[in-house]
A and B are shown apart, each in its own frame.
Chain A
Amino acid sequence: MLSRKDKLFFMSLLPLSLSLLAILIISIAVIGIRSIDSISFFGSKLYTMNVWDPEAEVYGLLAPIAGSIVTSVIAILTASFFSIPLTITIAEYLKGSTKNIVSSIVELMGGLPTIIYAVWASQYLVPFLKQYVMDPLYSYLSFIPLFSCKPITGFSVLAAGISIGISITPYVTALILEAYQSIPSIYREACYGIGATRYESIKILLSLARPAIIAALVLGFARSLGETTIAVATIGNSMNLNLCLFSPSYTVSALIASQFANAYLYPYAESVLYAGMLILVIISILLSLYGSTTIIRWRSRVIV
């Protein structure tokens, strides 16, 4: 029980602290209320059809939703391909000032404003990917549906996924590195004690950290779902729905960024965009809660 003075202290902190709660409630309420119109008018078609025709008042968000998910999957594959080796290098192979420099670079990457990634990706990375990744894949492997269309400008789902993946790599690396380094040293000593090589002990330690790594990837996935500036700059922005990764498409946030400004001109357009965002917000919040609780639970189990 709190004493009277403690209670006073608590009450004096409470009003401003509740701002976080108020913001969350208002946010979800606003998005929910603004999307009611379109959801009640179009029903489930809103999420299963693919059209954007304000003149005829028909909307379907299938392409942007699929685009968001596919882009984020590519992003998280890219990020895990980079961040797990990066974690191992920083934690196992580097020492002293080299370790400091490399982890500083990763920290520097992590806070870089996304707009700068967007500028760089749209001017350098996309042309690079088109010339050295998409064109070769198309000319040799075009029988695979994923690579079956000719890359025209390079601005595409694949380009957006890789660009976003590079931008979330430092975030995912920080999470995995924290988990990996928090494994008590007795496990490593046990590995070396039975004569394991470094590779074998890393394999054992990584399998011990697996739940935390998966949680880190889930958190990275949630973050890339909401990424806007990089997506707009690299995905090519067209209402396209097909299997090919080289064709331009939309993500939900890219669609909003390019259509919201004029949406007030049409009766349902604004509400449709809010409905798209509603899905994204719900998925992001659930995934991030799942990810962060998993990491906390894993830590209390491994670190005794």
Chain B
Amino acid sequence: MYNWRKLIDKLFTYMVIAVSIVAISPVIHLIITVLLNGTMVIVKTGINFFISLPPTPFSKDFGGIAPAIVGSLLMTFISLPITIVLGLFAAILTTEFPKNTISIVIDTIAKSLASIPTIAVSMIVYTIIVVPMRSFSALAGSIALTIVSLPYAYTYFSTTLRSVPFIYREAAFSIAMSRWSTVLKILIPVVRRGIVTAILMTLVRILGETAALLFTAGRFRNGVTISPLAPADAIPLLIFDFVLSPYEIWRQVAWGASALLLLSYMVIFFTVKFLVKEVKL
């Protein structure tokens, strides 16, 4: 009887560990293959990969993904500040007035918004921005990215702010600081690492989002523009189109772009990891 129970215990342990190894092996395979295939393309093209236009299906050269890089940077540049301000304001409101009805409503809404499929956001922005403006634009893409990442930014900021012990607030109030200066001079500086982390995690959301850009940004790949009102391209969008295309050369470019995206993601991830112990994306 005793041995029988011990045997089951052992078997269970081995099985659980075996399945766990199977569970994390896909991501290791993924990282290795994407980096191998992708860096090969980038090394072959060299600096051209970052400064030239994508190839035509039958050209010999890989070309580059300059429009996608510029477009991604431009849309991130527009949407990140807006997302941070909106998310931070909402997070301050709900942490400072946790029992207020409006705070509870905002908290629930953030959860519902996060569950809306991102392709739905793309369709919504298409109707309210692209159709009235009669053109795809980097601006429409940025708005879609903001809507997609706002609930996440809100959650990151409010978890961070909620981690400040109440005694800090009491100390600030006892020397008659106003509520605004308490937030700006005490609470945010106390958790500045957490705030930086929250900003970086929002950046990851914005950089990697594909579906929200499908019907908003346009797919302008014949040149580089930095006008927010002109159609633009983005790295995930280019990967999406090229990897599913029948042309071998486009699939190669998609590998290169994927490696670039993966590398930038990993750089941000390890920076965050360096700042805080546990990361929850």
Contact = CB atoms under 8 A, between A and B. Distances in A.
Contacts of A17: 86, 89-90, 93-94, 102, 106
A183 interface: no
A284 interface: yes
Interface size class of A (residues with CB under 8 A): 35 or more
A109 B30 CA distance: 10
SS class of chain A's interface: helix, strand, loop or mixed? helix
B188 interface: no
B120 A31 contact: yes
B246 to A, nearest CB: 13
A107 B279 contact: yes
A27 B116 contact: yes
Given A115-B240, A116-B30, A122-B244, A23 B113 contact: yes
A169 B254 CA distance: 25
Given A31-B123, A104-B273, A110-B280, A16 B13 contact: no
Contact of A10 (B93, B261, B278): B93
A9 B180 contact: yes
Given A108-B269, A118-B243, A253-B117, A273 B123 contact: yes
Contacts of B167: none
Contact of A288 (B105, B115, B123, B258): B115
Contacts, number: 258
B236 interface: yes
Interface string B55-94: 0000000000000000000000000000001100110111
A117 B30 contact: yes
Contact of A226 (B96, B115, B204, B215): B115
Contacts of A83: 23
Contacts of A174: 280
Contact of A284 (B92, B116, B126): B116
A13 B105 contact: no
B86 A226 contact: no
B178 interface: yes
A28 B240 CA distance: 27
A261 B128 CA distance: 16
B9 A197 contact: yes
Contact of A198 (B13, B27, B110, B269): B13
Interface string A200-241: 101000000000000000000011011111001100000000
B16 A93 contact: yes
Contacts of A86: 19-20, 23-24
B174 interface: no
A116 B281 contact: no
Interface stretch (A46-54, A135-143, A274-282): A274-282
Contacts of A123: 33, 243, 251
A197 B30 contact: no
Nearest to A82: B23
A199 B5 CA distance: 9
Interface in B200-233: 201, 204, 207-211, 214-215
Given A17-B106, A285-B112, A260 B214 contact: yes
A21 interface: yes
A277 B154 CA distance: 25
B6 interface: yes
A287 B115 CA distance: 9
Contact of A107 (B8, B16, B28, B280): B280
A234 to B, nearest CB: 10
A119 interface: yes
29 contacts: A10-B93, A13-B96, A16-B89, A19-B86, A31-B124, A34-B127, A82-B19, A85-B20, A93-B13, A104-B279, A106-B24, A107-B269, A111-B279, A111-B281, A113-B236, A113-B262, A115-B210, A120-B34, A123-B243, A228-B117, A228-B210, A228-B211, A228-B214, A229-B211, A232-B244, A233-B244, A256-B119, A284-B117, A289-B112
Given A26-B124, A257-B211, 12 more contacts: A13-B93, A17-B94, A30-B124, A85-B23, A111-B269, A111-B281, A115-B261, A116-B239, A166-B26, A229-B211, A256-B119, A261-B214
Interface of A: 5-6, 9-10, 12-14, 16-21, 23-24, 26-27, 30-31, 34, 81-83, 85-86, 88-90, 93, 102-120, 122-125, 166, 169, 174, 197-200, 202, 222-223, 225-229, 232-233, 253, 256-257, 260-261, 273-274, 277, 280-281, 284-285, 287-289, 292
Shortest beta-carbon contacts, A-B, top 9: A113-B208, A226-B117, A111-B281, A288-B115, A82-B23, A16-B89, A85-B19, A228-B211, A17-B90
